[in-house]
Amino acid sequence: MIVEDDPTVLTVVGDYLRAAGYPVAQFADGDAARIALSADVPDVLVLDRMLPGVSGDELCREVRASAPQVAIIMLTALDSVDERINGLEYGADDYVAKPFALRELQLRIDATIRRARGATTSVSPFAVGPFRVDPARRRIWLDDHEISLTTREYELFLFFLQNPERIHSRDEILREVWGWSFGEASTVTVHVRRLREKIEPEPRFPRHLLTEWGAGYRFTVQESE
């Protein structure tokens, strides 16, 4: 689904993605998109932040709360680092600034769909410390409680669970989880912060998802003394 108020961008992106084989629904304002989303949830939502009616930010928050499995890609002219971080903190998985290459957008959508549908289905259920994982169902539990994760949060946490006690740089995480050979490091920072809010008793003082200053992040089940 594409939600974009610029008619040229909406038409060009929609036609390009259809030619690439994707079924596409298009909407020019947030109100129409909100109604459509209440009836049919897409795999990927390409969402402009500045929309008439319901804003893209508000629509992002609503979709993230009701359908965490939807991958949300913000598509916007607001391209400063602070604006990118704001968009990610509203719940977006990815952020593409205008002007952009159609091929880049398609490759990011391709990577999102590929990882969501086939990357982990062959992995058997496993446990790491208090966390239990069912990759085929894309579900993770902490003790007896299921953790509600977005698509990207799940993929990020799965990566850490499968590679405990190793330090991973932000560039490595972007490459292995997002499938990018380059990108904005703040994307990883925001997602790690969101993940800590869901798995840590006190996110400001994490026990499991640790920052290794100057190097990256490390996941551990050993609680620090």
**pLDDT value of residue 95:** 83
Region of poorest pLDDT, from 86-90, 104-108, 197-201: 86-90
- String of DSSP letters for 21-32: T----EESSHHH
Per-residue model confidence as pLDDT tens digits over 137-166: 889 999 989 999 988 899 999 999 999 999
Extents of the domains making up the chain: 2-118, 126-219
Mean pLDDT of the 71-96 span? 77
Q: How does the average pLDDT of the chain come out, rounded?
A: 87
Predicted confidence band of residue 225 (pLDDT cuts 50, 70, 90): very low
Angle at 142 between CA 184 and CA 206, to 5 degrees: 50
2-118, superfamily in CATH?
Response regulator (3.40.50.2300)
CATH class of 126-219: mainly alpha
Which range, 26-30, 77-81, 93-97, 183-187, is most confident?
Answer: 26-30
Name the helix (H) or strand (E) containing 117: helix 102-118
- The widest CA-to-CA distance across the chain, in whole angstroms, is 58
pLDDT greater than 90 at residue 119: no
Predicted confidence band of residue 69 (pLDDT cuts 50, 70, 90): confident
What is the side-by-side order of every strand in the sheet holding 126-128?
126-128, 131-134, 139-142, 145-146
Same fold, 2-118 and 126-219: no
DSSP-derived 3-state class of residue 40: coil
Decide if 142 contacts 197 (C-beta within 8 A): no
**pLDDT value of residue 80:** 63
Q: pTM higher than 0.95, yes or no? A: no
